Amino acid sequence: MRTFHVELKKVVDDSYEIEIGFELEKKLIADLQQGLAGNIRKFAVITDSIVKDLYANQILTLLQESGYTAELFVMEAGEKSKTRKTKEQIEDAMLEKGFRRDCCIIAVGGGVVTDLAGFVAGTFGRGVPFINYATTLLAAADASVGGKTAVDTPLATNLIGIFNQPEKVYIDIATWKTLPSRQLSSGMAETIKHACMASKDFFNYINEHMEEILNVEKEPCEKIASENCRIKYEVVMKDERESGLREILNLGHTVGRAIETVSDYRLLHGEALSIGMVAEVTLANRLGYVTEAEKEEVIALYAKANLPTAIPDYINREELVQKLYTDKKVKNGTLRFVVQKGIGNIVEFEDGIFATPIEEAVAREIIMQI
Amino acid sequence: MRTFHVELKKVVDDSYEIEIGFELEKKLIADLQQGLAGNIRKFAVITDSIVKDLYANQILTLLQESGYTAELFVMEAGEKSKTRKTKEQIEDAMLEKGFRRDCCIIAVGGGVVTDLAGFVAGTFGRGVPFINYATTLLAAADASVGGKTAVDTPLATNLIGIFNQPEKVYIDIATWKTLPSRQLSSGMAETIKHACMASKDFFNYINEHMEEILNVEKEPCEKIASENCRIKYEVVMKDERESGLREILNLGHTVGRAIETVSDYRLLHGEALSIGMVAEVTLANRLGYVTEAEKEEVIALYAKANLPTAIPDYINREELVQKLYTDKKVKNGTLRFVVQKGIGNIVEFEDGIFATPIEEAVAREIIMQI
């Protein structure tokens, strides 16, 4: 018998910049010319059927006019496209067009596009660089920090994917003006979640500026985009592999993800999260971590963002209870919830443990009452 | 405009052990009991339709008898199973059986199984640990060091995948006794390639012990398994991301991979590589890096391992020339080859550049003559 030791210890630097502003298309090109993607001359612009005409075509043209080789790869808009099949179609189209390892991917779109394109980038030729050009508030809130990329499967959302960090993220707030108001509201769900878990001041700011935000005014939108990044970054930086602390970003997602799936994506992610947050804050109130007044304040802010705060009639609540078990926090067959403490804080149950076991009967009761 | 810096610099330790010996099933269980996979109690044993009855079932039973939860996931044997579809089927079966992020994958099989299972592990729940239990010489030579996992697509082999390091690798030489002789010979192709690029002594050792190796005698088999690991490790350790040096492991693979695909997998990987090495050494001779005698010596050793040294009649050579362009070393549309220098060395064309541009006409001429 012989043993052989493979020593693979190394320093990895995945640091990157997030740039928040208005109309950043030309800045992206300027950055590439300054060496953002090294010597790469070949770009795959991945987008969806809506963002294509709004922004991606323009970026494609700018790339080509600057002497780069660039091709557009378009998926159908919507969460239903976030599948292994779409990933496969894009990969095959890229291979067909002669893309190999010497390319860079630019994702132009919302969270679905950035999640999927980041996953494609991570496995194409065992990894090519990618850049996120986020065109929705949700992408700004959710997809710009953390490196989480994934697709959905029939049995669970976001369970097949990788951690993959972009070269740079652009958050172009001008693009929010073309968002349907339902999408803009949906994006506010993650923003309010961030406030609930980390900052009462930010919660109050959102409450005071909701109208301007929903009107896409520059100052408050830049503020919420950067606060989103800051809060998420502080959590992610401390726990890149989602071992403990990072689970707090799952606040509201236990019920939120399940209801998104059970609704067959009739509910947008943020709409589902809004209902999930109502479930979470109801649980927190029941466990004694949130007062009745705080609970109402959270629910009221979600309502103010024009988000649903009750489970729609078409949802089968028993099916929803069963679907909770597909949550990735489930351990040894037991449901686990992250719970907020007042507004702006998270309960730490034990040292480094932020998700607590909840009996199915309790989860069912809450789902039946909201 | 605001910018936000995401600082993600960290030390990553992906080190692991390779254990080479006879009948290591119980050692695997003992290692798990000693904490090899941390606190994980749930194992997905991924194998193929042939190895299932030979070894995987036994490992499954040992796991269950030791109190672990374990399930078997079986793919059809053969390179044709190394697809995104098989990956998807295994993922769905794992999700169906309740596997989530708190599991560990044990790959039991040859290179196809370890390549695919390592890729499944890397993307399941954004990454779960995995262990390779290699049951073929090829897996010992190729899949135990380097962390390369991948699947094939209709347009190219091994182009969709990730770098992913196992927790541990077991090379159980006893399993080689059940390998069909064609498979054992196929595994020798990578071993001889390693000798060609790194060690004339090892080349001579193989030449002198070929019969004992093909009879699976303990001492020479342990020797070639550990030499394979050592040579590959020295290359990989210096260049984990395959930026320059690591391309030398591609010796013979430019033509080898293409012919494997064009043969529609009638040729085993090692058989295709053997022909690819004949092409490479012919090119090396033409470029003046290998003498006529050295060229003949290399070809003779491949023949001694019962491997093909000429392109079979059923291959369309013009189609083969075109297929060369799917190679991942292709840059800006130009073919690039790694070339050996004598026996036991590789040509470094420029500082850190080990693959040289070759005109299509030259590649075609060589393919027409072998």
Stated as kind and residue range, the H or E segment containing B285 is: helix B269-286
How far away is chain A from the Cα of B139, in angstroms, using its nearest Cα?
15
Mutate to test the interface with B, among A36, A84, A120, A126 (most CBs of B within 10 A): A126
Whether B137 shows a pLDDT value over 70: the answer reads yes
CB-nearest partner of A161 from B17, B126, B226: B126
Q: CA-nearest residue of chain A to B148?
A: A126
Residues in chain B within 8 Å Cβ distance of A240: 8, 10
User: Do B146 and B232 form a contact (C-beta atoms < 8 A)?
Assistant: yes
Cβ within 8 Å, pair B15-A8: yes
What is chain A's Cα-based Rg?
21
**Helices B269-286 and B181-198, packing angle to 10 deg:** 30
Q: CA-nearest residue of chain B to A84?
A: B88
CB-nearest partner of A11 from B11, B100, B332: B11
How far away is chain A from the Cα of B162, in angstroms, using its nearest Cα?
4
Q: Is A266 helix (H, G, I), strand (E, B) or coil?
A: coil
Cβ within 8 Å, pair B127-A14: no
- Mean of pLDDT values over B55-68: 98
Q: CA-nearest residue of chain B to A164?
A: B126
The Cα B75–Cα B56 span in angstroms is: 12
Average pLDDT, chain B: 94
CB-nearest partner of A160 from B18, B123, B153: B123
- Each residue's pLDDT tens digit, B302-350: 999 999 999 999 999 999 999 999 887 888 889 999 999 999 999 999 8
The Cα A133–Cα A118 span in angstroms is: 11
DSSP B170-227: EEEGGGGGGS-HHHHHHHHHHHHHHHHHH-HHHHHHHHHHHHHHHTT-HHHHHHHHHH
Lowest mean pLDDT among B166-175, B227-236, B277-286: B227-236
Residues in chain B within 8 Å Cβ distance of A148: 126
Question: DSSP H helical segments within chain A, as ranges?
Answer: 25-33, 51, 57-65, 84-96, 111-123, 137-138, 181-198, 200-214, 218-238, 253-262, 269-286, 292-304, 317-323, 360-369
Residue type for position B339: V
Taking residue B217's Cβ as centre, other Cβ atoms within 10 Å add up to: 14
CB-nearest partner of B84 from A84, A242, A333: A84
Cβ within 8 Å, pair A12-B15: no
The Cα B77–Cα B82 span in angstroms is: 9
User: Do B40 and B102 form a contact (C-beta atoms < 8 A)?
Assistant: yes
Please state, for a pLDDT cut of 90, what percent of chain B lies above it: 81
Q: CA-nearest residue of chain A to B167?
A: A6
The Cα B160–Cα A233 span in angstroms is: 30
Which segments of chain A have a pLDDT < 70? 142, 239-243
Residues in chain A within 8 Å Cβ distance of B91: 153, 160
How far away is chain B from the Cα of A249, in angstroms, using its nearest Cα?
16
How far away is chain B from the Cα of A292, in angstroms, using its nearest Cα?
35
Residues in chain B within 8 Å Cβ distance of A88: 84, 153
Residues in chain B within 8 Å Cβ distance of A233: 4, 6
Query: Dihedral of CA B198/B201/B204/B210: which sign?
Result: negative
Cβ within 8 Å, pair A100-B328: yes
Cβ within 8 Å, pair A102-B159: no
> Is the model's pTM score more than 0.90?
no
Mutate to test the interface with B, among A5, A6, A165 (most CBs of B within 10 A): A6
Cβ within 8 Å, pair B22-A1: yes
Whether B120 shows a pLDDT value over 80: the answer reads yes
Cβ within 8 Å, pair A5-B17: yes
Q: Is A64 helix (H, G, I), strand (E, B) or coil?
A: helix
Cβ within 8 Å, pair A15-B8: yes
| Predicted ipTM > 0.90 | no
Mutate to test the interface with A, among B1, B3, B5, B6 (most CBs of A within 10 A): B6
- Mean of pLDDT values over B121-143: 91
Nearest to A146 by CA among A125, A172, A118: A118
pLDDT of residue A135: 94
DSSP 3-state percent helix, strand, coil across chain B (nearest 5): 50, 20, 30
Q: CA-nearest residue of chain B to A7?
A: B15
Whether B242 shows a pLDDT value over 60: the answer reads no
Cβ within 8 Å, pair A226-B2: yes
Q: CA-nearest residue of chain B to A154?
A: B92
Residues in chain B within 8 Å Cβ distance of A333: 98
Partners of A334 in beta bridges: A331
Nearest to B85 by CA among A107, A92, A328, A100: A92
Cβ within 8 Å, pair B6-A145: yes
Mutate to test the interface with A, among B4, B99, B158 (most CBs of A within 10 A): B4
Q: Which DSSP symbol is given to A145?
A: S
CB-nearest partner of B126 from A126, A153, A163: A163
pLDDT of residue A365: 96
- Each residue's pLDDT tens digit, A46-61: 999 999 999 999 999 9
- Each residue's pLDDT tens digit, B208-222: 999 999 999 999 999
Residues in chain B within 8 Å Cβ distance of A6: 15-18, 145, 165, 229, 233, 237
CB-nearest partner of A7 from B7, B15, B162: B15
Query: Which two structure tokens, joined as six digits, stand for B114?
Result: 């370890």
Q: CA-nearest residue of chain B to A24?
A: B1
pLDDT of residue A320: 97
